[in-house]
Chain A
Amino acid sequence: MNFATLKVAISALAANKLRTSLTLLGMIIGVASVTALMSIGRGVERQITTELQAAGTNVLFIFSGRPGGSPSEEPPQQLTYEDALALEELTWDGTVVGVAAEGSSRSLSVVAQGNDTHVSVQGVTASYISVNNLTLAYGQPISEIDVDSRASVAVLGSKAAADLFPDDDPIDQTVRAENLRLRVIGVLEEQGGSGGFGNSSDNAILIPITTAQARLSRWVTARGERPVNSISIELLDEQEETIDAGAAGIRQILRERHEIPEEADDDFIIMSPKDLIEAVSAALGVFTLFLGAIAGISLLVGGIGIMNIMLVSVTERTREIGIRKAVGAKRRDILIQFLVESVVVSVLGGVLGILLGTLISFGIAQIPFGGDGESLQTAVTLDIIFLAVSVAASVGIFFGIYPANRAARLDPIQALRYE
């Protein structure tokens, strides 16, 4: 192939502008829908992994449950505040820098200055805010003293603060939830999104875990311990060895405390955000490809359009093919000429389709949806562009090869006689 071949292809396409544009349109729609749908998938993927990463990649989360979901066993024991306190032991050698627990939480209606809202009131340990990478916008965090003294203090999530105190400084104000009167000591910065693990802290109120245990949920386990929803462990760093050592220490302590026999499985799950991010992004990657594949059907239709038009073009230009063969064109020359033509259409359609798809994807990102007025994040990434262009080119080759081959195999004398 050379420049002359390309020129011939383009002038042949230009000779039939309307037909070429309609064929192009088929490709453009196909590629645009692939680009737009995949950009949504990729956007969701990004959003979720960013949130997961925000929680910190050097944190291990412990939940009650059976790894691998082993069936037909008694339900796993609850994790307890006592478990969390026992895990503090791990901080002695320095691999673990913090242990935090969250429990005795309840969803409640809270009132302040005549404003009320529905929030999750969460009992947390003093280390919870730092271990979970939350930051205070202003005020004080919950301290060890607050936890020890079961102080009636609260740190508000950003949304809870805005709902309860739209105009005023909430610090030192009082919020009431059921029989609790809590003094606001701090407000968290907005965390955004769904908040990594569990609930977002934006619409939550954090109170000392001991206060929650005493005032919100007095329930205790069979062994007389106070249950928590999750324990998070902050590690020194996110090195593989640190994570493994941390997990091993946690297992040892918890198995001992839960009196799990040697051969039995754990009754808790240790999850590292790294694993989770990998698993989630792998799953979302498949989801993105799946979206792309659905949109790919329209690309297929575009490809069939190309094939159709190329077949018409070959028939129409039979005589031209005969002339070219008569002056010395080989099969390969004719094959390449028609193939270049279909690839030019498909790649041009691909490029225009990416532009249109990017516009659509940008448009989608502007449309608010859902209750909180947030919009879907979209991302047209390089790999989507690369995929779209290469799929478009492949479509051109795949659907162009049959018509081109038909042209190339024409018998010169019959082609010249064709009327």
Chain B
Amino acid sequence: MRDSVIETSDLRKTYVMGGSEIHALDGVSLNVERGDLLAITGPSGSGKSTLMNILGCLDRPDDGDYLLDGEDVATLDDNRLAEIRNRKIGFVFQSFNLLPRVSALEQVELPLLYGGGNRQKRPAKSAPAAAGAPVGAGKAPNELSDAEQRAGVARDLMLQKGGAGWRDRAREALIAVGLEDRMSHKPTELSGGQQQRVAIARALVTDPAIILADEPTGNLDSRTSEELMALLLRLNADRGITVLFITHEEEIARRTNRIIRMRDGRIADEERGDFAGGESSNSGAEAGQAPSESSIDDGEETPSQAGSSPATPARSSEVAP
């Protein structure tokens, strides 16, 4: 059984502009498994950003269901959505969206500042493992190595100490994106690529299940884009974080294992496989189908990972910049 982190069925979003209706999303059903690496492409105005914003709980669909980590997002109030954005999702924008006049370190601390409840997250995950609960029981920790679990516990301890713990976590995230020597720089003192790295560190710092990136390299030159994409791919491969990104560049899209092509608010086509290795399977027909309800019963904070992550099993606790 595959573990879905995102399950949508028939998502719709319609804008009314001057009397005419624009169907930005016209029935999108999508199933994303934990650890997936997924690219969304499609012509301008096809609804990619609209979909991404809904997946990121920044926006709500007009119609359709969205289960995030087994939770029905439509039923949640604004506060719960804010919590979900804080804990489960890291969002990376095309325009970086950093706070003006704020140092990189403080940018990255920001989600921690708002995530008071965050402190519970790690212990909840590692407790069953520590108690020797069977991995197959569906409550296994997120495939953490012993070292990483220890790091997690240490982090929790730091978190309980408050601000100092946040600072260490933020620093750790900045090191992970290769900005260890730019921590006190403000956005105006950073290059575009560095700003986007800060944004990625900010997305990363709460240890989210998913990173959503809306044209993360859209404002960057190709060399910098290349480096940033490599960073995102590594986060997926090394940490098992589910990564969804929008891109206009076929070459970049083909570095994933799944490509969704959108047109006129619908998923027009979907490709799966290891593109880098050449193998590919076109499964466009499947795209329109609603996901099976059976896979969403496990509606808890920490659904099972069940050892089915497509990511590399060997994990280092840090991504080398």
Contacts from A to B (Cβ < 8 Å): 3-4, 11, 15, 319-320, 322-333, 412-413, 416
Given A4-B113, A329-B114, A330-B78, verify A323-B83 contact (CB < 8 Å).
Answer: no
B59 interface contact, C-beta 8 A: yes
Q: Which of B57-113 contact A (CB under 8 A)?
A: 58-59, 78-79, 82-83, 85-87, 91, 93, 97-101, 110-111, 113
User: Chain A contacts of B58 at CB under 8 A?
Assistant: 325-326, 412-413, 416
User: Chain B contacts of A322 at CB under 8 A?
Assistant: 97
B299 interface contact, C-beta 8 A: no
User: Chain A contacts of B114 at CB under 8 A?
Assistant: 324, 327-330, 333
A3 to B91, CA, bound (A): 26
B54 and chain A: residue at smallest CB distance: A413
B85 to chain A, nearest CB (A): 5
Contact B111 A327, beta carbon cutoff 8 Å: yes
Contact B82 A325, beta carbon cutoff 8 Å: yes
A327 and chain B: residue at smallest CB distance: B111
30 interchain pairs, CB-CB under 8 A: A3-B163, A4-B113, A4-B163, A322-B97, A324-B114, A325-B85, A326-B56, A326-B58, A326-B85, A326-B97, A327-B86, A327-B111, A327-B114, A328-B82, A328-B83, A328-B85, A328-B111, A328-B206, A329-B114, A330-B114, A332-B79, A333-B114, A412-B58, A412-B85, A413-B53, A413-B58, A413-B59, A416-B58, A416-B93, A416-B97
User: Chain A contacts of B165 at CB under 8 A?
Assistant: none
B291 interface contact, C-beta 8 A: no
A320 and chain B: residue at smallest CB distance: B99
User: Chain B contacts of A319 at CB under 8 A?
Assistant: 97
A6 to B194, CA, bound (A): 28
A323: which of B53, B56, B98, B115 is its contact (CB, 8 Å)? Answer: B98
Contacts from B to A (Cβ < 8 Å): 53, 56, 58-59, 78-79, 82-83, 85-87, 91, 93, 97-101, 110-111, 113-115, 163, 202, 206
Give the dominant DSSP class at A's interface.
Answer: helix
Given A319-B97, A413-B59, verify A330-B79 contact (CB < 8 Å).
Answer: yes
B247 to chain A, nearest CB (A): 20
A329 to B110, CA, bound (A): 9
A328 and chain B: residue at smallest CB distance: B86
B49 to chain A, nearest CB (A): 9
A413 to B91, CA, bound (A): 12
A412 to B100, CA, bound (A): 17
Contact A15 B202, beta carbon cutoff 8 Å: no
B80 to chain A, nearest CB (A): 9
Contact B115 A328, beta carbon cutoff 8 Å: yes
A356 to chain B, nearest CB (A): 31
User: Chain B contacts of A323 at CB under 8 A?
Assistant: 97-99
Contact B53 A320, beta carbon cutoff 8 Å: no
B79 and chain A: residue at smallest CB distance: A330
A326 to B213, CA, bound (A): 13
Which of A323, A326, A327 has the largest number of chain B CB atoms within 10 A?
A: A327
Contact B93 A327, beta carbon cutoff 8 Å: no
A412 to B113, CA, bound (A): 18
A4 and chain B: residue at smallest CB distance: B113
A334 to chain B, nearest CB (A): 10
A349 to chain B, nearest CB (A): 23
B82: which of A4, A15, A329 is its contact (CB, 8 Å)? Answer: A329
Which of A323, A324, A331, A413 has the largest number of chain B CB atoms within 10 A?
A: A323
A68 to chain B, nearest CB (A): 63
User: Chain A contacts of B113 at CB under 8 A?
Assistant: 4
B104 to chain A, nearest CB (A): 14
B59 and chain A: residue at smallest CB distance: A413
Contact A327 B100, beta carbon cutoff 8 Å: no
User: Chain A contacts of B101 at CB under 8 A?
Assistant: 11, 15
Given A4-B163, A11-B101, A319-B97, verify A327-B110 contact (CB < 8 Å).
Answer: yes
User: Chain A contacts of B78 at CB under 8 A?
Assistant: 330-331
B35 to chain A, nearest CB (A): 23
B168 to chain A, nearest CB (A): 16
User: Chain B contacts of A3 at CB under 8 A?
Assistant: 163
A324 to B114, CA, bound (A): 9
A11 to B101, CA, bound (A): 9
A324: which of B93, B110, B115, B206 is its contact (CB, 8 Å)? Answer: B110
A302 to chain B, nearest CB (A): 27
6 other contacts beyond A320-B99, A330-B78, A331-B82, with CB at 8 A cut-off?
Answer: A11-B101, A320-B100, A325-B58, A330-B82, A331-B78, A413-B58
A332 to B79, CA, bound (A): 9
A12 and chain B: residue at smallest CB distance: B101
User: Chain B contacts of A15 at CB under 8 A?
Assistant: 101
User: Chain B contacts of A333 at CB under 8 A?
Assistant: 114
A327 to B97, CA, bound (A): 11
A332 and chain B: residue at smallest CB distance: B79
B283 to chain A, nearest CB (A): 30
A216 to B82, CA, bound (A): 92
User: Chain B contacts of A4 at CB under 8 A?
Assistant: 113, 163
